Amino acid sequence: MLYTIKNCRFGRGVFATKYISKGETILNITGPMITQKQVDQRSDKEAANALQIDDDLYIDFQEPGVLVNHSCNPNTGITKDQFLIAIKDISPEEEMTWDYSTSVDGGWTMPCACEEKNCRKIVKDFTLLPKKIQQKYLEEKIVLSYIIKKLSQ
């Protein structure tokens, strides 16, 4: 097992149990498929667990993936809408994080408390990220495919 769940400043988080190399797959994102209508019927907290993968399709994000916290300086990302991969080498005991903006389109926002030097203070749509960051994430192939599809229209 590459990870363990521990308490952290955000409640719970996912931490490396051993060294993880850049490019290594950490976990498969799992959960039942749900629609936009089902997401809209949830509380804000429950709706935040829905990972959008198409215009009207979401994965009801389950543990452990749902416990990977946001960072504006992430060490992981989601590729192929399904796999959490290391985008940097990750040391044992290091918390794994991903930038939620790589999966956000359509106006959803949340305050950011990652406290990174480059913290943007708010998590928002991928298209509202600085162009340099957008390009980096696109090159790393960690932007969800429904967003890439919209960008190419």
Name the residue with higher pLDDT: 13 or 45.
13
Alpha-carbon distance of 129 to 125, in angstroms, equals 7
Percent of the chain residues topping a pLDDT of 70:
100
- pTM of the predicted model, to two decimals? 0.93
User: Which pLDDT tens digit goes with each residue over 136-148?
Assistant: 999 999 999 999 9
| Total number of domains in the chain | 1
If you search the block for the tokens 């928002």, which residue do you land on? 124
User: Each residue of 15-47: pLDDT tens digit?
Assistant: 999 999 999 999 999 899 999 999 999 988 788
Which CATH number does the domain housing residue 112 bear?
A: 2.170.270.10
Q: Domain limits at 97?
A: 3-151
Are 94 and 68 contacting, i.e. CB atoms less than 8 angstroms apart?
no
The amino acid occupying position 147 is I
pLDDT category at 86 given cuts 50, 70, 90 is very high
Tokens of 28: 């498969």
Residues 71 and 110: beta-carbon distance below 8 Å: no
In which band, very low, low, confident or very high, does the pLDDT at 6 lie, cut at 50, 70 and 90?
very high
